[in-house]
Structure formats: C-alpha cells, structure tokens
Amino acid sequence: MRKLTRSLVLASVAGAVLAPSTAHAASPEPTTALLGTYGFGRAAVIGEAGRNAGTWESFSVRSGFAGDDLIITYRPRTTAYPAEKQVYTAAFDQVADAQAECRQVGADGVAHGVWVSFRCRTGFAPSYTLFVR
C-alpha cells in the first residue's frame, strides 16, 4: 500500500511539474486580421511572399480607395523565431519607395504580433529586403 501511495504522489508531482511546460509549448490559435494597407497590387505580392516564408498561413486582398488591404491569418508570436526569416524584397522598379514600404510592413507585423522584430536590408539598386524574428 505504501508503494502504491508513493507512486501516486510521485506521478501527481511529475504531472504538476510537466503540465505548465506542455501548456506553454502549445501554439496560439490562428488569428485573422488586417495587417495594413499598401499600394495597389503590392498587398498581393506581400501576402504571397509572407505565406511562402511561413510567417502567416493564408491571406486575402481587399481593394479600396487608398490602396489594397492585406488581411492575413497567422499565429500570434510573443517570442522571436530562432533564426531570422526573409519575408520579401521590395524592388525599386516595383514600388515608388521600397524602404518606406519595407519599414511599414515590418512595423505592421510587430504591431499585430506576427513577428517580434524586423530589419530592412538594402540591396542592389535601392531595393529593400524584409527580415523578421
């Protein structure tokens, strides 16, 4: 009887210790939200690139008067990715101000919890690549 009681106590202690780590490891439920409004035609490019990079699961585009709204479905993050991810490159011949677009997308992602930080790296001819963590 003593061995049984001891085994039950040890099992319950182990369960109590392991339960919080199991709950912490579970990823949050997907969220669908407006990431931002970007230049006409740019939301689809950004949406496709973000899905291919694995930063969101799906996207849709809604055209408006000021540009295209990018609506994404993603899992909110509170910790950085283990390694930097390249999301997309805004090329100088595709957008009027590639640096501004890169910074806007990066900041919108941080504001919504899609990623925790970002940087825009300049490339050849003023193009900018968005990297996130």
Against a cut of 0.85, is the pTM above it? no
| 51 touches 57 (CB < 8 A) | yes
Residue 12 lies in a domain: no
- State yes or no: pLDDT of 13 exceeds 70: no
Return the SS3 of 86: strand
Residue 124 in domain: yes
Nearest to 49, CA basis, from 7, 107, 91: 91
Arithmetic mean of pLDDT over the chain: 86
10 Å CB burial of residue 39 (0-12, 13-18, 19+) is middle
How far is it, in rounded angstroms, from Cα 59 to Cα 93?
Answer: 24
**Parent domain of 87:** 31-132
pLDDT at 12: 52
Instruction: Evaluate whether residue 44 is within a structural domain.
Output: yes
Which residues are registered as beta bridge partners of 132? 85, 118
- In the chain, how many domains are there? 1
Beta bridge partners of 59: 72
Asked whether residue 3 is domain-assigned, the answer is no
DSSP-derived 3-state class of residue 53: helix
12-16, 58-62, 91-95, 102-106 — which is least confidently predicted?
12-16
pLDDT, position 92: 86
User: What SS3 state is found at 64?
Assistant: coil
Please give the Cα distance from 127 to 27 (Å, whole number).
34
Helix H or strand E encompassing 5: helix 2-25
